[in-house]
Each structure stands twice: as C-alpha cells, then as structure tokens.
Structure 1
Amino acid sequence: MKMKFKYFLLFALFCSSVFVKAQERIKNLDFYLNEAKISSPVLKDLENQLKSAGIDSLIARATAKPQITGTLNGLYAPIIRGYGYDEVLSNGQSLDALLNLNYDLLNKKRINNQLKSVKLQSDSIKYAAQMFTFDLNRSIADQYIIAFASQDQVDFNSEVVRLLRKEEALLKTLTRSNIYKQSEYLAFLVTFRQQELALIQGELQFKNDLAVLNYLSGIKDTAIVRLEEPKLKSDRLIIEMSFFKRKFELDSLRNDNQKSYLDLNYKPKLGVYVNGGYSSSLVLQPYKNFGTSAGLTFSVPIYDGNQKKMQYSKLSLASETINNYRGFFSKQQQQQLNLIRQQIAQTDAFFGKINEQIRFSKGLIDVDAKLMHTGDLRIADFIIAINNYMSAQNLFRQITINRLKLINQYNYWNR
C-alpha cells in the first residue's frame, strides 16, 4: 500500500507540474504591459528624476536656514632692500581665522517660489512618466493585437487543413472507385497543399509577431506561447479636463512661477551677518586680536535699463503660445475621437452581414460534403465553397482586429 501511495503521489506531482507549465504558457495582454513597464529604462530614469526633484526641495528648504562658513586667510608681503608693497595697504602680514553666519531676512517668498518651481518640475516628471506609459501601452497593445491576429489565422488555417485532410482521404477512395476523375482529385489536392503552405507561412508569421512583442516588452524568452483574446472596451465618456490638457496647464503654471520669480528679483533684500574669530596684522599685540562683529546688508534695484519690462514681454508671448497650442490640440482631440467613434460604429454595423455570410458559407460546405460522399457534387464547386468560407472568415478576422486597434486608439486619446 505504501509503495502504491508513493507512486500515486509522484504521479500527482508530475501532473501538477505539467499543468503549471501549461498554465504558464498562456499569456494575456496585462502580462506584456506589466513586463514592458518593469523593463523600461525610461520609466526608471523618470523615477530617479522624481527622487532628484525631492532632493532639490530639501536643498531649497536648507537655503532658508542661517548659513555658517569658516574662513582662513594668511598674507605675508616682504620688503626687500626697500622694495615691496606699501605697508599702509598690505600691513606687511596678516592672519584671519573667522567663523561667519549669514541670514537673509526677506527670503521666505523666494524660498516658496523655489519650492513651487520644484513641485512643478515634479508634476512635469510625473506627467512625462504617465505619458510615456500611455504610449508604451498603446504600442504594446497594437503589437499584441497583431500577434493575436496571426495566432487566430494559424488556428483557422489548421481547422481548414483538418477539414481538407478528412475530405482528401475520402476523395482519394472515391477516385479509386472511379466516382470522381483523377483530374478532379488533383485539383482538390492542389487546394489542399496550398492551404498546408498557408498554415506553415502563418506559423512563421506568428513566431515573428510574437518575437516583436517580446522585444517591445523587454522579454528574452523565445518560447511559443498561447495568447488570450485581448479584452478592450471603449469608454465613451470624454473628460472635460483631459490628461493631455494637463501639459498646457503645467506650462501655464511654470510661466506664472517665472513671473513671480522675476518680481522677487526686484524686491529689496535685507540680510544680517555675524562673525567671530581672529583677525590680526601681527604687528601690535597680536595675542589680543580675537573679536567679533555684526552687521546688516540691504540692497534695492533702482534702474536696469527696463529689463523687467522686456522679460514680462517674453513671458506674455510664451503665455500666448501656450493658449494657441491648447486650443489647437482641443480641436484635434475632439476631431480624432469623433472620427474613431464613427469608424467603430461602421465596423459594428458590418458584423451582422459578415456573420450571415460565414453561416451560409459553412452551411454550403456541410451540404457539399454530404453530396461529395455520394459523388453528386463537382469538386470544383466544393473548392469554390471552401474558398468562399475562407474569404468570409478572413474578412471577419480582419474587421475584428481593426476594431480592436480602433478601440486601442480611442482609449489612448480619450484621457
């Protein structure tokens, strides 16, 4: 009993491992989207830029605190045979070792302006990351749809080959019984071999499309997998403040922030400083030259040749440019969405007729197959029926794939 249980356990483990491997070979669109995000160096770069912007914010806050520096200066100006620097100016020699503290009393608004600038920079990086993600998702989804279409074509070609192989065996027997002519059998065989070649070509195309999908997603695996049908749905709701318009909003905010920065540069500046240490000419009682000092610094711009007015003119032109681009893009986006919606509606209306054509073509093949079994059908008619069925199925798949691509485009622009 123990041996039987042991063998049963090993068999169960083997079956479960085979099942897991089979499950792993089935991939869906989300898998490739996630892999593309994980392997993208651009997203990693933008993530590091965002962290760097966070450090810039800390640096800006640090500049608001008192700044302490230590300085050490030594001077020796010798006079040789009456030649040398004037001792009234140089003192001959000097030594300064000071600890300095400086603090800007009116820096709060400037620091807030810098912090706002850093925040806008962070928001722009986040926007760039999201924009890149949308572009990446669109390209991955498009290639996934192409690869799935190739896989679907292989499945259909396999179905047709199985059908023809079954009928070819029967037709060979009927030909040997002189129910059908040798020429008719050969005509059918040509169609059969042609479809087998189409199957091989389709498999090669699927491998190539899958390899491109892996390449775009940053996947090194070259194994053939099974792709699930992409489930894409279009959201018909158009958001008033779309994601793309966020770019123009950020541009406007940066423009306003530059205006504030320009205004602050023309505000008075007031600072205090304190120092303490040793400063001596080393001539008279140098051991007593330890001390301290404090003071104020004040500055106010008076005239700079109207540079402020010129800078304002540049910022006004930049603001006008932003508004022009925003208006133009809004019209383009709306036009693009309307066009895609119209194409999707036209495609949906076409499905009914195609399904009806497929149903009739398949029904005709079933009827012709029964007639061929009794020898009451021309092989040419059966070949025509098969070709009509394949044409209808190919058209159905083509329109289905085009519809998925349209939905992918619609979802990209409708943000």
Structure 2
Amino acid sequence: MKILANSTLIVLIAAIGLGKARAQQIPKDLGFFLSQAKSSSPLLKDLSNQRKSLAIDSMVTRATAGPQLSANGAGLYAPVVHGYGYDEVITNGQALEGYLSLNYDLLNKKRVQNQLEGIKLQGDSIRYAGKLSTFDLERTITDQYLLAYASQEQQRFSSEVVSLLQKEDALLKTLTRTNVYKQSEYLTFLVTLQQQQLAEKQAEIQYRNDYATLAYMAGMQDTTRTRLQEPKLQDTQLLENRTFFMKKFELDSMRNDNLKKGIDLNYRPKLGVYANGGYSSSLVLQPYKNFGASVGFTFSVPIYDGHQRKMQYQKLQISGETINAYRDFFSSQQRQQLQLIRQQISQTNGLFNKINEQIKFSKGLIEVDSRLLHTGDLRIADFIIAINNYMSAQSLYRQTMINKLKLINQYNYWNK
C-alpha cells in the first residue's frame, strides 16, 4: 500500500509539472500583453480615480447650493477692577449667546449650474486624457511586441540554418576524408557553421531581452517566456473627420466659454436671506428673557471695479487665439503625417514581391547545391554563398514585414 501511495504521488507531481509546462507553452498574442498593460497601468488607475473624485465634487457643489444651517456660540467676560477695564457701555461687562443660523442664497442657481458645467468639462478632459494614455500605451506595447516577435523569428530562423548546416557537416566530413573535398574547404564550412551557432546564441539572448522588456512594460510579474503569436494588424481606412485629437481643442474652447460665463455671473446681483434663533444676553437685566429670533436679507450689486471684467475678457480672447493656432497647426501636421505613413506603407508593399522571388530563388539554389555537394560537384564556398544569400533574403523579408507592421501601428494611432 505504501508503494502504491508513493507511486500515485509521483504520478500526480509529474502530471502537475506537465500541466505547468504545457501552460507555459501556450502562445500569447498581442491582445494578452495589451490587456496586462492596461490593467497594471497606474496612470490609467489614477485618471479613473480622478473621475470618481470629480463625481464627489459635483455632489459637494449641489450640497453647498442649498440652505446652510449652522450652530454658533460665543461668550464674553470683561472685568473692571478698581475702575480699570473695558468701558462697560461697550462690553456690558459680560455676554453670552448661542443660536442656530439658516442662510440661503436666492440667486445662485445659474452660478451653481456654471460650476457643475466646469466640473463636467474637467471630467471630459480627464476622460480624454485616459483615452489618449490608452492609445499611447497600446502603441508602445505594440511596437515592443513587434520587436520581440522579430527577435523570436530571427532566433527560430537561426536555429533552422544551424540544423541545415549540421546535417551537411556529417557528410562533408566523410567527403573530406575521402579526398573529395580539400581540408581547407571543409574548414571554411566549419567556420561558417560555428559563426551561425554563435549567431543563434546571440539571437536567443536578444529574444530574451526583448521579451523581458515587453513583460516589464506590460507590468507582468511572471516573465516566463512563451511563443509569441504572429501579430495581426490591419491599417484603418482613412477617416475624413479625425475627431479624437481635435476633441482636446474643443474642450479647451468650451472651458474658455465656461470661464467667460463665470465672469459674467460674478457681476450679477446677489441676494441672500437668513434667519436665526437662540439666546443672546448681556446677563445684566432679566437674562432669562433673552431668547429670541431674527430674519434678514443681504443684497449686493457690483458697480465699478476698475474694468477688471474687460481685462479678464481680453485674457480669454488671447487664450482662444492660442487654442486655434495649436489646433490649425496640429490638423495640418496630422494630415501630412498620415500621408507620409501611407506612402511608406505603399512603398514597403512594393518590396514583397521582389523579396519573395529572391527567397524562392535562393531556397531553390540551396536545394540544387545540396545535391551537387553530396556528389562532390560543387565547391563548398559556392554552397556557403547560397546559404548566405538565402539568409540575407529571409532577414530582409522579416525586417520589411516588421517595418510595415510598425508603420500600420503608427498610422492607426494618428488616424483616430
């Protein structure tokens, strides 16, 4: 029974280990890293908390617009010793008061509404900043994912080349021993093999670094490397009205309008009413009768303040002109940027047919040279040249594809 239990435990541990190994081998796509980066971004969490805070500010503004009830109390004792002390005509010697006071501003509805509109504009600005931060994060993570994927493919291709050369190595050793090839030719091949083995190790190191950087940027704690899936990026159609980046300038203009409305409201009449009730006494004459109440109002109208209103208008006008200048410049730059990227994508697409033809030709040449090599009818140097040409063509294809994907990533970012 003990042996059976131990065997069961061993099988269970092996199964768990196999499950973990398979889990680590599950390929990860670009969406996985984007999701990880968004969920771990402190900036996005900060902006989300700022929106929650603004919701509380709105409630505070509405609360302060209603009637305000407060409790107040005060006491005074001013002794007079041997004729020295405060004038009792002014102080009454002592006083005690305590009352409840109710205050309400009758003409504050538009002011409160303007404050709420200002808070809403702040919320819209934070929401815009959140979307912009998300787009920036997506662009950055996508670029790093493309870099890591390119490193992965380079490492994979280097392994394939090394495997190909190692297969030929065994045959060339035999052919060299039988004097079909010279020792110097075989040594040339061996140097090429060793160079490719070194290149494979370098590609592995580069892939490790690029993957670790990707995981770091995505805020991942587990940096266990897994195979990256081929990224699927499609360039969006050119939008006639790219409104996202223009939203910033629209919000700035609306904020200016809100400030102007606030200035106007500050020059309107203000009317408030109040009421209080409680106890107020000098404690000199019948203090038990000094309970009472009072009502009243306050009213004010601005008449002259040195033309401050006009000056504030001028500042807002200057700010508006600045906003328009930035908007027009950005709109022009955005159009040029998209046209340039679109042109680069088109030019890049034009390279693929030629590169694919070169790869097809180079691969076919390697197959022919390999057969000739086996019969001793080809110089080893020519076989090495064919291998190098094939590697160069493959490297050019991968680099061109990654460049295209990076251009698409940039294009999609600006074409919002």
Same fold per TM (> 0.5)? yes
The letter of the residue matching 1:127 is Y
Where in structure 1 are there 5+ consecutive unaligned residues?
Answer: 1-6
Measured against aligned partners, the alpha-carbon deviations of 1:223-276 in whole angstroms (never above 9, x if no partner) come to 221111111111023151421111111101110000010000000000100000
* 1:185-200 equivalences in 2 (<5 Å): 185-200=186-201
| Equivalence for 2:275 | 274
| Equivalence for 1:28 | 29
Tell me if the contact between 1:270 and 1:299 (Cα under 8 Å) persists in the aligned partners.
yes
Asked if 1:376 is matched to 2:366, the reply is no
The letter of the residue matching 2:361 is F
Q: Taking structure 1 as reference, are residues 239 and 288 closer, same or farther at Cα in structure 2, changes over 3 Å only?
A: farther
| Equivalence for 2:300 | 299
| Equivalence for 1:105 | 106
Aligned mates of 1:168, 1:208 — CA distance in 2: 31
Aligned mates of 1:259, 1:268 — CA distance in 2: 17
Asked if 1:163 is matched to 2:164, the reply is yes
| Equivalence for 2:415 | 414
Q: Taking structure 1 as reference, are residues 174 and 137 closer, same or farther at Cα in structure 2, changes over 3 Å only?
A: same
| Equivalence for 1:3 | none
| Equivalence for 2:123 | 122
Offset at 1:23?
Answer: 4.3
Offset at 1:22?
Answer: 2.2
Aligned mates of 2:120, 2:234 — CA distance in 1: 35
Tell me if the contact between 1:239 and 1:414 (Cα under 8 Å) persists in the aligned partners.
no
How many residues in Structure 1 have an aligned counterpart in Structure 2?
410
| Equivalence for 2:367 | 366
Where do 4+ consecutive residues of structure 1 move more than 6 Å? 10-17
Aligned mates of 1:322, 1:88 — CA distance in 2: 63
Measured against aligned partners, the alpha-carbon deviations of 1:10-41 in whole angstroms (never above 9, x if no partner) come to 98996697367424432111111111111111
Q: Secondary structure at the match of 1:248?
A: helix
Asked if 1:263 is matched to 2:264, the reply is yes
Aligned mates of 1:70, 1:12 — CA distance in 2: 72
| Equivalence for 1:42 | 43
Aligned mates of 1:299, 1:21 — CA distance in 2: 78
The letter of the residue matching 2:401 is T
* 1:6-405 equivalences in 2 (<5 Å): 18=18, 21-25=21-25, 26-405=27-406
The letter of the residue matching 2:196 is Q
Q: Taking structure 1 as reference, are residues 284 and 265 closer, same or farther at Cα in structure 2, changes over 3 Å only?
A: same
Tell me if the contact between 1:242 and 1:414 (Cα under 8 Å) persists in the aligned partners.
no
Offset at 1:46?
Answer: 1.0
RMSD of aligned Cα (Å): 1.9
The letter of the residue matching 1:364 is L
Q: Secondary structure at the match of 1:318?
A: helix
Tell me if the contact between 2:24 and 2:225 (Cα under 8 Å) persists in the aligned partners.
no
Q: Secondary structure at the match of 1:244?
A: helix
Q: Secondary structure at the match of 2:244?
A: coil
Aligned mates of 1:244, 1:360 — CA distance in 2: 47
Tell me if the contact between 1:61 and 1:111 (Cα under 8 Å) persists in the aligned partners.
yes
Q: Secondary structure at the match of 2:58?
A: helix
Tell me if the contact between 2:352 and 2:397 (Cα under 8 Å) persists in the aligned partners.
yes
The letter of the residue matching 2:90 is L
Aligned mates of 1:96, 1:123 — CA distance in 2: 48
Offset at 1:220?
Answer: 2.1
Measured against aligned partners, the alpha-carbon deviations of 1:94-146 in whole angstroms (never above 9, x if no partner) come to 11101000000001101101110111111111111111111111111111100
The letter of the residue matching 1:56 is D
Identity of aligned residues (%): 64
Aligned mates of 1:85, 1:151 — CA distance in 2: 91
